[in-house]
Amino acid sequence: MPTPLGDAQRALLDRFTAGELTALARLISLVENGRDGFEALLDVLHPRLGRAHRIGITGPPGAGKSTLTAGLIRHYRAQGLRGGAVAVDPTSPFTGGALLGDRIRMNDVARDPGVFIRSMATRGALGGLALTTREVADVLDAFGFERVIIETVGVGQSELDIAAAADTTVVVLVPESGDSIQTMKAGLMEAADVFVVNKADRPGADRLARELSMMLHLRLGQLLRNIPAHHGVDLRRTAAPSGPVPAAAPTAPSDSWEIPVLRTTAETGAGVPELAALIGAHAEWLDRSGQRRRRRRQRLAERVREQVGRRLHALAWAERGGAAVLEEALPALEAGEVSPYQVAAGIVRAAVPE
């Protein structure tokens, strides 16, 4: 039961289906700006999803994420694959776009018709930036790009969630990050399927790569300690002081993904083919292990939840007069005569009859 489309929407969709880049750009704008009917369009596109491998690229500002994104897209193009990218860009009216340098670096790949790169504004997205970014990634997927890269500054939980919704999440660090691994946002470390130490020609790159590997081993060790010792050797018993510790170590669960740490120099392209190969290996593991299906299922459920939130919000605020109720209640709220909880209850009662 697909949602009915208007004539203009149908015409746009036809051009989109024919592979016109201008139609792609137009459709992304409709989604980004939450224009009337964009949900009906996404609804129609839904059965075309799932062909692209989605790659999240995240990390601190200045780590070289955009250069790496451009490098990956160039690599994929050389293999005959088309690449789309959506970059979350913390533009602001004050600075007028701190990431201008990054955009320029991406331009040299952006003249190729098999490539499409979109910078998202970070404010005013209907229903939240995370949802809108994922919807733009959907549009790129539906258009037929075999690789879709989602690039975000991995500094806050919401930015991180965007990248972590990809099939493969690449966390990019630079030697300068080394000092602060301890104070780094913890979620950033947990999101990684692949670690990249970029600007690997700088001092400290080897040390950071070693520290990351060590940390990943510690983590694996912690996981193993939490596995009940019903298979093989009980570590606590064999480590008894009376005898030597046997060399036989427990192995990781047979089909787990061991998070690799790769050194790259995105500026020169060094390491980019290796990164693409690791992403490919992870994609194969996702298929083999059933993880791809599990991740996509989670993503679908999350999408439904977000949509419900967006619709309920529109219902309460746009359709059933919540804004007017709030406006009227403000003086009493300020005077402390009513609480926000009472006003909210009233708005919900108006929106949702018993």
Q: How far is CA 162 from each of CA 17, 40, 220, rounded to the nearest angstrom?
A: 26, 23, 25
Q: Any contact of residue 207 with its own copies (CB under 8 A)? A: no
Exposed e or buried b per residue across 131-147, where buried means at least 16 C-beta atoms within 10 angstroms of its C-beta: bbbbbbbbbbbbbbbbb
Are 175 and 199 in contact by the 8 Å Cβ rule? The answer is: yes
Residues 24-53 that bind its own copies (CB under 8 A): 39-40, 42-43, 46-47, 49-50
Select from 157, 238, 251, 256 the one that contacts its own copies (CB under 8 A): 157
C-alpha 201/C-alpha 209 separation (Å) is 12
Residues forming beta bridges with residue 84, ordered by sequence position: 116, 148
Select from 243, 244, 253, 336 the one that contacts its own copies (CB under 8 A): 336
Stretch near its own copies under the rule CB under 8 A, chosen from 164-172, 200-208, 235-243, 342-350: 342-350
Q: Any contact of residue 291 with its own copies (CB under 8 A)? A: no
Q: Any contact of residue 4 with its own copies (CB under 8 A)? A: no
Smallest distance from the beta carbon of 269 to its own copies, in angstroms? Answer: 22
Q: Any contact of residue 297 with its own copies (CB under 8 A)? A: yes
Select from 6, 156, 221, 280 the one that contacts its own copies (CB under 8 A): 156
Cβ proximity to its own copies: between 146 and 302 the closer is: 302
Select from 129, 200, 261, 275 the one that contacts its own copies (CB under 8 A): 129
Smallest distance from the beta carbon of 69 to its own copies, in angstroms? Answer: 16
Q: Any contact of residue 183 with its own copies (CB under 8 A)? A: yes
Select from 35, 51, 305, 324 the one that contacts its own copies (CB under 8 A): 305
Q: Any contact of residue 159 with its own copies (CB under 8 A)? A: yes
The distance from CA 258 to its chain's CA centroid, rounded to whole angstroms, is: 20
Give the closest residue to 69 by CA, choosing from 81, 56, 52, 53.
Answer: 56
Are 116 and 136 in contact by the 8 Å Cβ rule? The answer is: no
Smallest distance from the beta carbon of 82 to its own copies, in angstroms? Answer: 21
**CA-derived radius of gyration, the chain:** 24
Select from 226, 242, 254, 341 the one that contacts its own copies (CB under 8 A): 341
Q: Any contact of residue 189 with its own copies (CB under 8 A)? A: yes
Q: Any contact of residue 289 with its own copies (CB under 8 A)? A: no
Q: Any contact of residue 301 with its own copies (CB under 8 A)? A: yes
Burial class (CB in 10 A: 0-12, 13-18, 19+), 14: exposed
Residues 72-101 that bind its own copies (CB under 8 A): 90-92, 94-95, 98-99
The distance from CA 263 to its chain's CA centroid, rounded to whole angstroms, is: 22
Q: Any contact of residue 313 with its own copies (CB under 8 A)? A: yes
Select from 22, 251, 268, 339 the one that contacts its own copies (CB under 8 A): 339
Select from 10, 217, 288, 293 the one that contacts its own copies (CB under 8 A): 293
Residues forming beta bridges with residue 83, ordered by sequence position: 115, 147
Strand extents, DSSP E, the chain? 53-59, 83-89, 115-121, 147-153, 168-173, 194-197, 261-263
Give the closest residue to 23 by CA, choosing from 35, 32, 14.
Answer: 14
Are 286 and 295 in contact by the 8 Å Cβ rule? The answer is: yes
How many residues sit in the footprint of its own copies (CB under 8 A)? 78
What is the amino acid identity at position 196? V
Q: Any contact of residue 268 with its own copies (CB under 8 A)? A: no
Q: Any contact of residue 267 with its own copies (CB under 8 A)? A: no
Nearest 5°: phi and psi at 342?
A: -70, -45
Stretch near its own copies under the rule CB under 8 A, chosen from 6-14, 17-25, 280-288, 314-322: 314-322
